[in-house]
Amino acid sequence: MKIIESGEEMREYSQQLKNDGKTIGLIDTEGCLHDGHMFLVKIAKENVDVVILGICHTIYYFEHSTEKYEVHLKLYQQDFIEKEIKICELNNVDVLFLPSMDDLYTNSSTISLDSLPLNVQNFLQTLPINIKFILGAKELYNITLPDIIVLGQKDVYQTFILKSLIKQLNLSIKVIMIPTIRDSDGLAFSSRNQLLTFSERCNATSIYQTLHEISRWSVYPPVAEIKEHITNRINQANGHVSHLDICCAETLEELDLIDRKFVIIVDVFFGEIQLGDNIIIEP
């Protein structure tokens, strides 16, 4: 496995791969690798010649001061990087890309996405890095030159935003979205899961249990009643719903009535830990 830290070196290597007729797949992560990430790698390996896995500390870069960001990087290098490298090697990642955030955010340019549904716009504004998230993705694509990117359904809003970015920029990148990968108890794989206490983890299984229950309904009431049912079920499990959308699965526009394939998107706090999940349902 090749490890690259320089954006310039990564760009040159990607271009050489292209010159050699190789296809490239990209998996973009924030680190803390788990089985969900590795399933994305598996799918990418089935579709391209070379898989690049990027670990971009974007959230730490923008959410915290420069000093805290530098402390985070030191701790990451000290406590996590060796484990991350081993995980990548065991799962046949071809290139591990560890860019400096300065390589992804080299200027103060801006971009706006066309015609995003209002609820998706609202979600984007809740991100601490909002528009910078889009600019970083754009630069990452310019550096790695992927033919495909593989994304998980768990981050369905981000996936929709990135697909919109690729379409708007007319990039020749195929987006593969795979179903959410879950642990044996139904909890969606996430680096946040390890922060849950035992009781919080037991309670958190109520998210998927509730979503799966709704997927088995033969008749759907108005959306307001579905939301009330979800909220009540999760409240009973000591969770607090912080965000809940029921949208068209294709456009992510909010629905009032279920008359098409739809997606339920929910964020829930258990204690201080926020977990996200969703399910796509065809009535």
Task: Say yes or no: 38 and 69 in one domain.
Answer: yes
Task: Say yes or no: 274 and 229 in one domain.
Answer: yes
Confidence of residue 84 (pLDDT cuts 50, 70, 90): very high
Task: Say yes or no: 135 and 12 in one domain.
Answer: yes
Q: Is residue 230 part of a domain?
A: yes
What pLDDT is recorded for position 132? 62
Task: Say yes or no: 146 and 248 in one domain.
Answer: no
Kindly tell me the sign of the dihedral angle through the C-alpha atoms of 134, 247, 279, 126: positive
Query: pLDDT (tens digit, 9 = 90+) per residue, 107-138?
Result: 656 667 777 788 887 777 765 555 566 777 88
Q: Is residue 184 part of a domain?
A: no
Q: What is the mean pLDDT of residues 14-38?
A: 94
Cα–Cα distance for residue pair 263/247, rounded to 1 Å: 5
Please name every residue paired with 181 in a beta bridge, in sequence order, or none if there are none.
none
Lowest mean pLDDT among 115-119, 150-154, 194-198, 204-208: 115-119
Q: Structural domain tally of the chain?
A: 2
Say which amino acid occupies 99: P
What's the pTM?
A: 0.87
Query: pLDDT (tens digit, 9 = 90+) per residue, 37-50?
Result: 999 999 999 999 99
Lowest mean pLDDT among 22-31, 157-166, 184-193: 157-166
What pLDDT is recorded for position 235? 98
What pLDDT is recorded for position 127? 59
Domain range for 198: 191-278
Task: Say yes or no: 131 and 164 in one domain.
Answer: yes
Say which amino acid occupies 117: P
Domain boundary, last residue among 178, 200, 228: 178
Cα–Cα distance for residue pair 272/71, rounded to 1 Å: 23
Listed in sequence order, the residues at least 6 apart from 61 whose beta carbon sits closer than 8 Å to its beta carbon are 69, 101, 105, 129
Task: Say yes or no: 22 and 131 in one domain.
Answer: yes
Task: Say yes or no: 131 and 13 in one domain.
Answer: yes
Q: What is the mean pLDDT of residues 250-279?
A: 95
Cα–Cα distance for residue pair 142/35, rounded to 1 Å: 27
Kindly tell me the sign of the dihedral angle through the C-alpha atoms of 148, 154, 155, 160: positive
Pick from 165, 18, 38, 28: nearest CA to 92: 38
The enclosing domain of 236 has a CATH number of 3.30.1300.10
The enclosing domain of 34 has a CATH number of 3.40.50.620
Task: Say yes or no: 96 and 125 in one domain.
Answer: yes
Task: Give the mean pLDDT of the chain.
Answer: 90
More confident residue, 235 or 77: 235
Cα–Cα distance for residue pair 181/92, rounded to 1 Å: 19
Task: Say yes or no: 134 and 231 in one domain.
Answer: no
Task: Say yes or no: 43 and 98 in one domain.
Answer: yes
Cβ burial of 162 (10 Å; 0-12, 13-18, 19+) is buried
